[in-house]
Amino acid sequence: MKYNLREMTVEDINDVIEGEIKAFGTTLGYDLIYTDLTFNPYAHYMVLEIDKLVHGYIGLWINDNSEIINFYVDEEYRGLGFGEMMLDFAIKLCELSKVYNLSLEVRESNAVARNLYKKHGFVFSHKRERYYDNGEDALVLIKSFGDVK
């Protein structure tokens, strides 16, 4: 198995949409991702390529207060360390960019992702009530990088 993490391009959008729908039952949508890739200087999207096919991605906006926009690994490749590899990369990018903190939203029921984020120093900040379509709350988690400026 050959894998790498590389910058996402417009040509990857349809693969990523397919993967998002499999992972979440929903997608950020072509237009949002296209606009981010093309016009948003704060957006950084990386795809996980395994044997030359896209099997995951992580998107983030890097600013003083950065955010993970979306993140998944295809089900057949989970539990192999790829999620951790992508999250580590995102955290490194934030460190290099000297951001103050990195936040994200996660479903309260998503124990796997919550474990991963906890392992990487994210802590609970607050809840967004009934944030998801099914009425589930989102937990906002934050990793602080301290006063790095």
Contacts with ligand COA by CB under 6 A lie at 23, 71-73, 78-84, 104, 106, 110-113, 115-116, 119
CB of 149 to ligand COA, least distance (A): 28
Unique residue bearing structure tokens 């998801």 = 132
Nearer to ligand COA, 98 or 126 (CB): 126
80: DSSP letter: S
Nearer to ligand COA, 10 or 111 (CB): 111
Distance CA 99, CA 42 (A): 12
Task: Give the residue at shortest CB distance from ligand COA.
Answer: 83
> Which of these, 22, 77, 24, lies nearest to 48 by C-alpha position?
77
- Full DSSP string of 112-148: HHHHHHHHTT-EEEEEETT-STTSPPEEEEEEE--S-
CB of 133 to ligand COA, least distance (A): 15
Contact yes or no for 53/63 (Cβ under 8 A): no
Nearer to ligand COA, 99 or 113 (CB): 113
Nearer to ligand COA, 23 or 38 (CB): 23
CB of 56 to ligand COA, least distance (A): 7
Phi, psi angles (nearest 5°) of residue 45: -120, 130
CB of 83 to ligand COA, least distance (A): 2
